[in-house]
Amino acid sequence: MAKPIYLNKAEHRQVSDAVAAAEAQTSGEIVTIIADRSDGYADVALAWSIFAAFTAIAVFAAIPHVYLDNIDWLLGYWGHDWTFWEVLTLALGFGVTKFVAVFLIQLYQPLKFWLIPGLLKSARVRERAISFFKVGAERRTHGRTGILIYLSMREHRAEIVADDAIADKVDPEVWGNAMADMLEEIKQGHLAAGMVAGIGDVGAILAEHFPREEDDQNELPDRLIEV
């Protein structure tokens, strides 16, 4: 399955220019990443399939006569005398059928992501954002002033992760306004504009606490990364 492209070249340039403009006022370094998703959630799909299988078996065990009578009718039996092993095979068959059906249904991505609990989405997005930050920004600047703006499109979640020096001076709640302005635009379908708004807000906060120095160098790339 091909990875979706969320921004065209012009929009990529728009975001990169916004990063450059923000960094012109601060010694902070801003990294931007857009991900299609933060996890495959195979464990969640498996859990739903197992739940469906056990539910099917439990319902069969609770009211076996309903199922057996209908099977008798479909097969044209006259009160077939079902053996224990035949009943057991039917129960397992129902379970396997439900397992496979629910697993295949979840190949439809909108339904799959709708079935994922919101708290789990938030946790996985946060974990992925931190992992990207550790690789691409953490302690990679002279003053430990790197910061990551991360969007995970399938989960409809965003995260801002800051390096040690920034975290020591800026309360996590402060990034809420940057997130709010960014998400407001994104909700309206303006992804590039949302990124630009978020970058502008983050840049203003960084400029307040970490103004640009005369010998400041650009230590991290300004370009938007899509993964």
Per-residue confidence at 136, pLDDT binned at 50, 70, 90?
low
Domains of the chain: 9-39+118-226 (3.10.310.50), 42-114 (no CATH)
Amino acid 213: pLDDT = 75
Amino acid 50: pLDDT = 95
Alpha-carbon span 203 to 26, nearest angstrom: 7
Amino acid 177: pLDDT = 79
Amino acid 116: pLDDT = 94
Per-residue confidence at 142, pLDDT binned at 50, 70, 90?
low
> What are the start-end ranges of the E strands in 63-199?
146-152, 157-162
State mean pLDDT over 181-188.
87
Amino acid at 84: F
Alpha-carbon span 175 to 59, nearest angstrom: 49
Per-residue confidence at 2, pLDDT binned at 50, 70, 90?
low
State mean pLDDT over 88-114.
91
Amino acid 49: pLDDT = 95
Alpha-carbon span 87 to 64, nearest angstrom: 8
Per-residue confidence at 138, pLDDT binned at 50, 70, 90?
low
pLDDT at 209 over 90: no
Which residues lie closer than 8 Å to 46 by C-beta, 6 or more apart?
A: 103
Amino acid 143: pLDDT = 66
Per-residue confidence at 128, pLDDT binned at 50, 70, 90?
very high
pLDDT at 134 over 80: yes
